[in-house]
Amino acid sequence: MMPERAEIDIVVGRTVNRLRRERGMTVTRLAERAGVSAGMISRIENGQVSPSLGTLDAIAEAMSVPVMALLARRSGKADVYHLKAGGGIPSRRITPNHAHEYLLLGKHSG
């Protein structure tokens, strides 16, 4: 069962708000850096809109975080991983009905 759209919007909004505050940014400053209106940032943070991937990417870039950091739920595990070339990327379930973890491996060409 996939999370409801409203739940996803709330998670994204709370994450944007938390990351913005951690960086000491105002709504206005984040909006300027991301190229969107302050009202849009406010609506995103309050879970009132479903931002496009392009908007999320602009917000993530404005805060110097990967776009996936905006989609991650807070948990005891890291949601963003930094790996050296040739390493694997741990991938965990994204919905309550999936109970598997995977290790995504990439080919190292070097």
As a whole number, mean pLDDT of residues 54-69 equals: 94
* The two structure tokens encoding residue 1: 């069962």
Q: What is the pLDDT of residues 2-15, one digit of tens each?
A: 456 678 889 999 99
Tokens of 50: 């479903």
Read off the pLDDT of residues 77-98 as tens digits, 9 standing for 90 and up: 444 555 565 555 555 545 555 5
pLDDT at 4: 64
Domain ranges of the chain: 5-71
pTM of the model: 0.64
Cα Rg of the chain, angstroms: 16
Give CA separation, 60 vs 5, 9, 19, in Å: 20, 15, 9
Question: Which of these CATH numbers, 1.10.150.130, 1.10.260.40, 3.20.20.220, 3.40.50.720, describes 5-71?
Answer: 1.10.260.40
